[in-house]
Amino acid sequence: MTGTPNITFTKPAIPARGSLMVLLDDTLSLTGIASELDRKLNGAIARSISTAEYKAKAMSTLEILSPGDGKYDRVVVLGLGDAGKLTENDWMRAGGAAMAALPGERQATVLLVRPDGRNIRGREAASFAAGMKLRSYSFDKYKSKPEGKNSDGGKPKPVRICVGGHAAARRAWAVEDAVTGGTILARDLVNEPANTLGPIEFATIAAELSSLGIKVEILTEEHMRGLGMHALLGVGQGSERPSRMAVMSWEGGRKRTKPIAFVGKGVVFDTGGISLKPGAGMGDMKGDMGGAAAVTGLMHAVASRKARANVVGVIGLVENMPDGNAQRPGDVVTSMSGQTIEILNTDAEGRLVLADALHYTIDRFKPQIVVDLATLTGACIVALGHDHAGLFSNDEELTGRLTAAGKATGEKVWPLPLGPEYDKLIKSKVADMKNIGGRWGGAITAAQFLKRFVGETPWAHLDIAGTAMDSPATEYSRSWASGFGVRLLDRLIADCYEG
């Protein structure tokens, strides 16, 4: 990643020169420091707004080059629309739009003052900064010459945000920057090509989180075989690269308090196995570890901000390949829970990884809740598109909390049903269950399968197939990998399980 901005917060003041950004709502009223700047520029901002018939619609920009006496390279006006209706996610969007509009090669100053006269809270300012940092992200480590105006060989871009209550903004940014760092880590992992990120390499990255105070254990195939994780191991048996499981523990809460747990699917590359996928688009399957990436990024975030909670992250890391030792359709495997599974489609492999990972996590840690994340089914994309992740749960309170966290962060989830009618679809004639449920309701039957491994523990499954990779571009994400899930789950922890 190149061009990450070096963001600082100061009290509102007009600099002597450089590039500036001011905010304007749909009233088109230049007030406060914006009015002062316009007077200094002999009315150049007001004239440009009038000449361009600029309406200050949300996230729109107006660029004024070398205004006034030429001391400023440019002034950029950023529209907010109705400033009274701005959400926290809108402030992040505004930060992304600001980063896109500001030049990459010079220091820039943002006059972050609400045009409606209301005070900007510390969290709003931090969200704005997070949007700037996330928009600056680009995965170009494999390009000999980084492209774009924001590519400068990795040098930090100095950005000064002038805001009232700058001390509160700094405090909020210390937390938000930690979460942003976790999102960037998740993006890096999903973007990384599979030839350089196998199960062992992924586990090594997880182990490096020990530098943040996280306890990390790496389970080898021998360990997992001894525990009876034959569902997980069956997925990886066709690959030359051995499977791994990483267990990450952050102990920031009270002693003897049950942890909250997160489990991620980490299929570093998914060919479909013997049930081989079509060739078109198979390259995208380097991102089939988006759930494990989100859990790893989340652990980075909670440790970096020193969350006052006990958090466990478990990721099952495998590669699904079709060699002579690969799992076959028709095979029966015994999971760690003792339940047997008939394999009818080797491309329905993520649920096998999660089955053992979920049982292991619940059996060992006895968590308050467990949430799993997985790029699990194309059926979820058919149902919800790329704007919401599918949410399945056995607990209404957890469903409500995840939905609220999604609305706050913009990482939205949508509840989908579970029930005995769907459970019937995964009954097997030769084993306790089969790993597919037929053509209809594929995302639901996959979640119904997972439900068999969680018992009475409050649990939620997030199908992030449509949101973790190749998701729609936003003001703060132009990356193929979005890092979806880190901000959502960190907010869930902060709002509901900390303290």
- Give 128-141 pLDDT, tens digit per residue: 999 999 999 999 99
Structure pTM? 0.96
Considering only CA atoms, which of 309, 158, 324, 310 is closest in space to residue 239?
324
Closest CA to 292 of 271, 262, 254: 262
User: Containing H/E element for 73?
Assistant: strand 72-79
- Average pLDDT score over the chain: 95
* pLDDT computed for residue 162 by the predictor: 95
Sign of the C-alpha dihedral computed for residues 479, 139, 210 and 128 taken in this order: negative
CATH of 181-496, one of 3.30.470.20, 3.40.50.720, 3.40.630.10, 3.10.20.440: 3.40.630.10
Joined together, the tokens standing for residue 329 give 């359709």
Encode pLDDT of 31-49 as tens digits. Answer: 888 999 999 999 999 999 9
* Confidence (pLDDT) at 148: 56
Task: Check residue 110 and give left, alpha or beta (phi > 0: left; psi -120 to 50: alpha).
Answer: beta
Q: What is the DSSP string of 259-292?
A: PEEEEEEEEEEE--TTSPPPSTTGGGGGGTTHHH
What was the pLDDT predicted at 116? 79
Q: What count of residues does the chain have? A: 499
Residue 274 has pLDDT above 70, yes or no: yes
- The verdict on whether 277 is a catalytic residue reads yes
Give pLDDT, residue 147: 64
Query: What values do phi and psi take at 488, rounded to 5?
Result: -60, -50
- The amino acid occupying position 291 is G
The amino acid that residue 112 corresponds to is L
Question: Does residue 364 carry a catalytic annotation?
Answer: no
User: How many angstroms separate the CA atoms of 228 and 246, rounded?
Assistant: 16
Cα 122 to Cα 19: distance, rounded to the nearest angstrom: 24
Q: How far apart are CA 22 and CA 76, in angstroms?
A: 6
| Cα 209 to Cα 249: distance, rounded to the nearest angstrom | 10
Instruction: Tell the burial category of 144 from Cβ atoms under 10 Å away from its Cβ (0-12, 13-18, 19+).
Output: exposed
Catalytic entry in 47, 171, 277, 478? 277
Nearest residue to 286 via CA among 271, 306, 308, 265: 271
Q: Which two tokens stand for residue 274?
A: 């013997």
Rounded Cα–Cα distance for residues 385 and 381 (Å): 4
Does residue 239 surpass a pLDDT of 90?
Answer: yes
What's the chain's Rg over C-alpha atoms?
24
69-78 pLDDT tens trace: 888 989 999 9
Q: What are the pLDDT digits (tens) for 435-446?
A: 999 999 999 999
Domain 5-165 -> CATH class: alpha beta
Q: What is the pLDDT of residue 70?
A: 80
Cβ atoms of 368 and 309 closer than 8 Å? no
The two tokens of residue 461 are: 């499954």
What is the spatial distance between Cα 93 and Cα 135, in angstroms, rounded to a whole number? 9
Structure tokens belonging to residue 353? 């990884």
Burial (CB < 10 A; 0-12, 13-18, 19+), residue 15, is middle
Residue 258 has pLDDT above 60, yes or no: yes
114, 244, 305, 351: which one is catalytic?
A: 351
Q: What is the DSSP letter of 359?
A: H
pLDDT at 105: 58
Pick the closest to residue 465 from 443, 440, 439 (CA basis): 443
In the predicted model, is pLDDT for residue 154 greater than 70?
Answer: no
* Rounded mean pLDDT, 229-247: 98
456: confidence class by pLDDT, cuts 50, 70, 90: very high
For residue 488, the 8-state DSSP code is H
Instruction: Identify the pLDDT of residue 106.
Output: 67
Q: Write down the domain spans for the chain.
A: 5-165, 181-496
Rounded CA gap, 450 and 359, in Å? 10
The pairing of strands 215-219 and 244-251 is antiparallel
| Mean pLDDT across 264-270 | 98
Check pLDDT > 80 for residue 155: no
**Which one-letter amino acid corresponds to residue 465?**
A
Q: Tell me: pLDDT of 479 over 90.
A: yes
Residue 63 CB-density burial (10 A; 0-12 exposed, 13-18 middle, 19+ buried): middle
What pLDDT band is residue 1 in, cutting at 50, 70 and 90?
very low
3-state percent helix, strand, coil for the chain, nearest multiple of 5? 40, 20, 40
Tell me what percent of the residues of the chain surpass a pLDDT of 70.
97
